[in-house]
Amino acid sequence: MTINRWRLPIQVKPLYRFVPATLLGFVLMIFSAVSIAAGSSYIASFSDVEAQLSQRNFAKKQQAIEWLAETRHPAAKTMLTGLLDGQVFYQKKNKQLFLIPELAVGKQAVSIADGVEEGGSADQEISNKRDYKKVALNNRLRKAIRLGIAQLDLSADSEELRLQAAKNLQGNTAENVQSLVRSAYQSESSQEVKEVLALVLAVADINAPVPEVREAALALLSNSLEPVAFQALSHALDVELAKDKGNAEFIAGIERALDDYHQSQRIYNTAETLYFGLSLGSVLVLAGIGLAITFGVMGVINMAHGELIMLGAYTTYVMQQLMPNNIGLSLILSIPAAFVVSGLVGIAIERGVIRFLYGRPLETLLATFGISLILQQAVRSIFSPLNRSVATPDWMSGMLEINPMLSLTYNRLYIIIFCLLVFAALVFVLKKTPLGLQVRAVSQNRAMARAMGVRSEWVDAMTFGLGSGVAGVAGVALSQLTNVGPNMGQSYIIDSFMVVVFGGVGNLWGTLVAGVSLGIFNKILEPWAGAVLAKILVLVFIILFIQKRPRGLFPQRGRAVEG
């Protein structure tokens, strides 16, 4: 019996190769199972989150972050916000998480678990900085945290919070963000929030490969005034034009939408310019309306009018120092206080100086100029030469958003309303009160008024005090727009005289029309001429206008005309 020597090696060799391959696969399977088990930790409570965030494994940290957002844990928003701000630390000893705004000895370490789960450690004072270590993050984790915060806010109970979260996602075309927004859109009950979410989706869908989806996105973006809609349309147009065979109809639709956006932008820019012009005009009216009374009725060129405005502004500053914890109430109380302070100073000026100078306008100019210097120096001695800042109440801060292209600042809006109220009050006083009747009588014919028993000296003092008091009220309004300082009045004296002369000396309606007109004219010129050149052009216009109509827009009959 013979044995083939070559058959055994031929039969054993495949088995020899198969055994190592099987062992290698088995070993790899075991290592894979171990690694998977190590990477996918089970999170059941907040203590598990603390354990994973205190490790160096970023995959485990991401699992903890996703668990917080998905379960809407009570501590989720605090935790995620603190992580983004770099204020979350873990204690090395027990791995518990703390919110620490400032890591320093003696500062407080606020336990995030405290009050969330039973057994959470209480807040504690930091005795050793080395006991705490900041939770490390990378860019991938930061993206996950922002997505988690958005997920929490989009599912919040507050409609305002959901709306703000939707606005924050505008322009974000990441796939995971779009998936989150689509889910939120389906469950959203507020129509306003749904519109913002639809815009977020349209920004991404405008570049979708499906024509129907792109057309729907184009229709939505075409009706939006948001800047992100304009950016998305511009980008989509560039992408479509870069193609060899772009969709001509789709390109034409985008171009029409961009033209409509530019047209809307021009319209609302014009509206904003008019609004700024109205606010500037209201300031000019407030500054000039008191001068219109003293200059128009009494014929006195009061160069101290700007300092009376300054006294009203300083009265506002003093009232806020007396009531530092109630800025809004102090501002309201400053209105009558400023009227009384500036009015009394005005009466003192009239009784002490001006009553000796009636009929001599140039001498009243020099005298009141000297008084203005005295008042400036008195303010410097009392309050120092430095400017004083007057706080603005919360209800005057912020903006009223009409649409994404037009927002009205509250402080300017209140100035316009305040100007109209002051004007209405003055008209009422001059038309419906005995003082107003006597003022009109003295201004038209002083001798006849005296013959009728009107005490012209008393009327002069009250008229000057009324005009000065209104100047003080103007100072209250101006304190909300600019710093309060000794030279504050010098910025408005020339503008006040321009308004009074242009509108017609002594005519309140002329002062209102002139102030508003000059304010709008100035703001229209500023974009292309600049602020300084615009003022020069306005002054040149008034000079030319006075050459044609020396008595202004609405000439007033009275002593100034007779003189």
What CATH number belongs to 269-562? Answer: 1.10.3470
Confidence at residue 557, expressed as pLDDT on a 0 to 100 scale: 56
Per-domain residue ranges for the chain?
A: 46-140, 163-246, 269-562
Let me know: does 177 contact 150? Beta carbons within 8 Å: yes
- The DSSP call for residue 395 is G
User: Which of 473, 541, 554 has its CA nearest to residue 309?
Assistant: 473
Confidence at residue 117, expressed as pLDDT on a 0 to 100 scale: 42
Give the integer Cα–Cα distance in Å for 276 and 272.
6
**484 phi and psi angles, rounded to 5 deg:** -95, 120
Average pLDDT for consecutive 10-residue bins of the chain (563 residues)? 43 46 49 42 78 87 88 86 89 87 88 57 78 90 89 88 89 86 89 91 89 90 91 90 80 92 93 92 88 77 90 93 89 93 93 86 88 93 89 87 89 91 90 85 78 83 89 90 87 85 81 90 85 84 84 63 46
Q: Which two tokens stand for residue 177?
A: 């963000």
Coil/strand/helix, residue 45? coil
Confidence at residue 40, expressed as pLDDT on a 0 to 100 scale: 45
Let me know: does 43 contact 67? Beta carbons within 8 Å: yes
Confidence at residue 276, expressed as pLDDT on a 0 to 100 scale: 92
Q: Which two tokens stand for residue 161?
A: 């919070």
Confidence at residue 344, expressed as pLDDT on a 0 to 100 scale: 95
Confidence at residue 30, expressed as pLDDT on a 0 to 100 scale: 46
Let me know: does 338 contact 312? Beta carbons within 8 Å: yes
Give the integer Cα–Cα distance in Å for 342 and 253.
62
Confidence at residue 398, expressed as pLDDT on a 0 to 100 scale: 85
Cα angle: 60, vertex 64, 69; to 5 degrees:
145
Whole-model pTM: value is: 0.75
Confidence at residue 10, expressed as pLDDT on a 0 to 100 scale: 42
User: Which of 223, 154, 137 has its CA nearest to residue 190?
Assistant: 154
